[in-house]
């Protein structure tokens, strides 16, 4: 039992430890539920920070990790390989079928770091260095320094701003400015020093679940192809069915040159990530010159337990007809969106796949530190529902195994909350 946050040795992420109160001590999970030490049951409405897709403690994934641990738990991946890494790479490349190579790492931020370094060193290896990256103004790509650099300049990055490298930021498409955004990207590329354009496809997660159209994304990737610039799809949150298709970029005819994968890759069981790329990118590193190798690596690169969990998760997709479950959630969300749009307390109601989001009208500026968040979080926790609003942006992003009844419970709780603040 945790007696106080100040006496605990644990420092929690994105938490003001002095004012947050005691963390809930979760002791087990099952399906869409989490259970605390007192036996209270919570509906996990955010898939445990967007990672859990098939449900907590899924027996097939747990079994796969156990069986792998009895054979091989870890091996250095420089100069060595192992069967699970080779098999997983083949599976991932059957999903990202236009790519030919997989580089493993630890988490979403490091998957992005790998992508950035691939893009920058690609041009350096070619003997024509380029050092500019283009990104959306509202982006979030992670918390390491490279990923922070290509993220929005704001509350997440302010303490480190002077240490981040320069990035060309363009506006985030919103349905009214899409042509302008395409022109901004074209103008940036025309200067000749852009190495890559990085983007969260269709949904900008931590930026507030901002959504834009596949038509616009397709055009933006096309602009990169026409300008000879590398395009990087950060599918860390959007991958593995979250937007209604296996990858968000599956909605587009034009494909990214590099794709970053994490979060749902292991079904929420293990920290793990992969960065995939085209043969054309890999070939620029394939050389007799050692100086042209990709200078990146992690102690736990291609960890066998993570590979086993990812392979098992991919198998569950087929066995449990997971894409059908995703479609059912999407239909329920669409119906609830219709109800929400008539509510004067909310604005900007949107959904894509299993993600539903809306903004609460408040006198405060929209943003991560909007204080309505604390009131909403406390209300939903009182209902034993885990929703973690991004400031005044409330969103639902559940495990795919969630029942129709429990989606209804979440929807009803949201409607009840909106009444309390109207």
Please list the active-site residues. 14, 140, 234, 263
Alpha-carbon radius of gyration of the chain: 21
Judged by DSSP in three states, 356 sits in strand
Q: How far is CA 311 from CA 83, 87, 269, in A?
A: 11, 8, 12
- In the numeric block, the tokens 């269709």 are attached to 202
Task: Taking each helix axis as running N to C, give the angle between helix 404-421 and helix 372-382, from 0 to 180 degrees, rounded to the nearest 10.
Answer: 130
351: DSSP letter: E
Among candidates 224, 284, 234, which has minimal Cα distance to 259? 234
Dist CA 284 CA 118 (whole Å): 10
Dist CA 142 CA 207 (whole Å): 11
Dist CA 134 CA 222 (whole Å): 15
Dist CA 414 CA 370 (whole Å): 18
Q: Tokens standing for 84?
A: 């699970």
Residue 261: count of CB within 10 angstroms of its CB: 28
- Name the phi and psi angles at 89, rounded to 5: -60, -40
């Amino acid at each position: 039992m945790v007696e106080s946050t100040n006496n605990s040795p644990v420092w929690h992420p994105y938490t003001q430890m002095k004012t947050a109160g005691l963390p809930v001590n979760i002791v087990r999970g099952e399906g869409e539920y989490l259970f605390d030490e007192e036996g209270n049951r919570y509906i996990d409405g955010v898939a445990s920070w967007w990672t859990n897709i098939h449900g907590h403690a899924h027996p097939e994934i747990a079994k796969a990790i156990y069986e792998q641990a009895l054979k091989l738990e870890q091996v250095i991946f420089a100069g060595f390989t192992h069967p699970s890494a080779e098999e997983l790479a083949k599976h991932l490349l059957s999903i990202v079928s236009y790519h030919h190579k997989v580089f493993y790492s630890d988490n979403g931020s490091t998957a992005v770091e790998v992508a950035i370094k691939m893009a920058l060193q690609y041009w350096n290896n070619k003997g024509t260095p380029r050092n500019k990256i283009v990104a959306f103004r509202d982006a979030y790509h992670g918390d390491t320094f490279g990923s922070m650099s290509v993220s929005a300049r704001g509350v997440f990055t302010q303490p480190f701003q002077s240490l981040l490298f320069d990035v060309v930021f363009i506006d985030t498409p919103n349905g009214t400015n899409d042509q302008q955004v395409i022109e901004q990207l074209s103008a940036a590329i025309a200067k000749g020093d852009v190495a890559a354009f990085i983007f969260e496809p269709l949904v900008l997660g931590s930026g507030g679940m901002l959504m834009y159209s596949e038509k616009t994304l397709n055009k933006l990737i096309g602009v990169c192809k026409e300008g000879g610039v590398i395009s990087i799809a950060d599918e860390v949150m959007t991958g593995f069915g979250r937007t209604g298709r296996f990858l968000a970029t599956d909605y587009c005819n034009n494909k990214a040159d590099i794709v970053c994968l994490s979060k749902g890759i292991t079904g929420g069981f293990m920290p793990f990530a992969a960065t995939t790329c085209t043969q054309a990118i890999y070939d620029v590193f394939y050389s007799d010159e050692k100086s042209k190798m990709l200078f990146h690596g992690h102690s736990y690169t291609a960890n066998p337990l993570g590979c086993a969990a990812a392979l098992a998760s991919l198998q569950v997709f087929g066995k449990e007809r997971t894409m059908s479950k995703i479609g059912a959630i999407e239909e329920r969300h669409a119906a609830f969106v219709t109800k929400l749009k008539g509510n004067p307390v909310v604005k900007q109601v949107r959904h894509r796949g299993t993600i539903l989001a809306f903004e609460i009208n408040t006198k405060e500026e929209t943003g991560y530190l909007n204080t309505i968040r604390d009131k909403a979080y406390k209300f939903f926790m009182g209902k034993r529902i885990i929703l973690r609003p991004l400031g005044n942006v409330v969103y639902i992003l559940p495990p795919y195994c969630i029942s129709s009844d429990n989606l209804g419970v979440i929807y009803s709780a949201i409607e009840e909350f909106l009444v309390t603040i109207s």
